[in-house]
Structure 1
Amino acid sequence: MGAEVVIEGLTKSFGRQTIWRDVTLTLPPGEVSVMLGPSGTGKSVFLKSMIGLLKPDRGKCMINGVDIVTCSEHKLYETRKLFGVLFQDGALFGSMNLYDNVAFPLREHTKKSETEIRRIVLEKLEMTGLAGAEKKLPGEISGGMRKRAGLARALVLDPEIILVDEPDSGLDPVRTTYISQLFLDVNAQSDATFLIVTHNINLARTVPDNLGMLFRKELVMFGPREVLLTSEEPVVKQFLNGRMDGPIGMSEEKDQAQIAAEQAMFEAGHHAGGVEEVTGIPPQMQPAPGLPTRQGAIRRKDRVMQILHTLPPAAQEGIIESLSPEEQERYGVHPHRGGYQDPPTINTTPVAPHHRGELPSEEVARIPGAHRRTQGPGDS
């Protein structure tokens, strides 16, 4: 199983400009998580801080007992071997063909023979749909192929944690769906921990097990997809529907005058843009036929059902309706029977609060405002 990542009070600034502060969350091991946020909220900075490319001002980022914020350079170098990173443009070496690009980490970090390297490289190229393209240069292939080559390179060391920065950058919606399918297929086969940074709404709705959102320099929410997709929090609802109507403006945050002017415009019949209002929980993409069942998805659903009774009634009903009849039977729940005061009985191992990848129920729908909350020990 992939490694668990525990982040506590992480803060990053450049000079006097705070990018985000006091970010606390846990990436559940073996699950696919997505970090959302408007452009310019520091999502890519967050990824770079997780692997020590940027040094946070304070806080912790614990991976297998190692705090990458305070550890030695030698320990950081060793811990980075647990990561595979897919950058926005693939970050391939332009003078190397795809084979040598993918082989580079193996030649740099291992003492494997060229025969073993060849076996691994061809395996990863086939996994990412690039079999037969190993002799091509990055400049000779499409953007989607460069993304897949970058993913193949990220996979050659069999990482426990895979970080993905804006996978839809430069890709059309169809190719974005294909690479999203590839992430889930890799997760099904490896049970690696994924964190994907994006502002792609369709990807956010259908791919991850967990969703988080950065806004106003803070982590608004982080938790299982079912919690955020049924949330009535205005900023989350606005972002997931891509509408102008809400707290997010062109310069991230609107003032009261702009909010009032826009509200009058919408009441006069002006369309707020975005997609149609989405209700309920869209189905999650599944691994390709023939691949193993994703264990991370099972663990997430167990965790959601353990906190079901703490959620608003509408969220409870939406979650129950999203379950298959077999899952409803397993968890002992049925639609259209009102709220649940007690958690369903399920056969799972108890999970410590800070490892559940969820906010406490009293914090689930609260956005940071002028008076910032004090985080409790159970926040994640």
Structure 2
Amino acid sequence: MRTISLKRVVVTGLGALTPIGNDVNTFWKNIKAGTSGAAPITRFDTTEFKTKFACELKNFDIEKFMEKKEARKMDLFTQYAMVAAQEAIENAGINTGDIDKTKIGVIWASGNGGMQTFEDQIVEFTQGGFIPKFNPFFIPKLISDIAAGQIAIKYGFMGINYCTVSACASSSSALVDAFNYIRLGKANVIVAGGSEAPITRAGIAGFNALKALSTRNEEPVTASRPFDTDRDGFVMGEGAGAIILEEYEHAVKRGATIYGEMVGGAMTADAYHLTATHPEGLGAKLGMKEALEDAELTLEDVDYINAHATSTPVGDISELKAITGLFGEQVKKLNVSATKSMTGHLLGAAGAIEAIACIKATQEDIVPPTINTTALGEGIPTDVNLTIGKAQQRKVDVAMSNTFGFGGHNAIVVFTKVKA
């Protein structure tokens, strides 16, 4: 029987494109400062929509990163992927001739793929008298896996390449998969992350129909208010997050800067409901338990949990039930925060962005805040430190990120400071 020795997996590059910063440094600065990215939607006329605001990117110009001709071949979600991946790849220094690119992979997530492309083409199709004529780039712009392919094509990365789709857990699923492939020796480096561009007419109207979005149109800046008594749904966000995961010895040998270590991950299912989380958080609790077992860590080791906490009435409570149910009295010694209060909910890209927040938290020993929460809602435990209002300086050796998606998907990732 073949014995497999699991390899260590470290973080050597980061890239972020978010509603509160178009690069990692700006994103992290604004996260620490408690900056909200919510504002009235500028992309289309919202007169007839129940929700008229979102967390859009600010001052984003794709022509700063690629020629207009190339950008037109990509949906926004792929454009976002290319920008975040570029920052991470340059940050990691892996786009060089002396690195074996056959052992560099890309696992990229998107919960929805090319929503704007699909919407535009169907509208054009119906307005054209049902003539079966489509743009030749319709399918290549639409499909969710195309971002992974485009990244690999640009940089010549010939290793593992595919897309993970598990709704709002998608990019955390990508991280777990990348982690496992590297520690099994199937790749030296993987560009992992996710991107989403759901602020379209169909995206907003669809989530409005589910009654999932906040309709706090008069005060969008404070609309995303996890755990608050007046929370009424999530705020849509857009953007991308990229993380370079690399085998430890490979990173050390090439003299890479190491930002942290990924030590565990798990994926579970609620097996309960199409859109609602399990009311007792059973799937989330199982996922956190398995992620810590995978990392060979105890409950006492965890310092910070970046909660999925989307600001929905049911979801926030079920997640805290999972956390308190697993951690028991230990919950009083850790910090929990909901960074979606600032970025909005980036759907399939949320996990990657929140993993970056965890990695930066371990680097700087700072827990980012939960903003906009003024009065805890009914059923929200008062003995959990939800890091309300402002960032908190504390030792953060171990950080965990929770992500959950429609369909009952749960993905949990665990990061630590790197150990020699």
| TM-score, normalised with respect to structure 2 | 0.30
Higher relative contact order (CA 8 A, sep 6+): 2
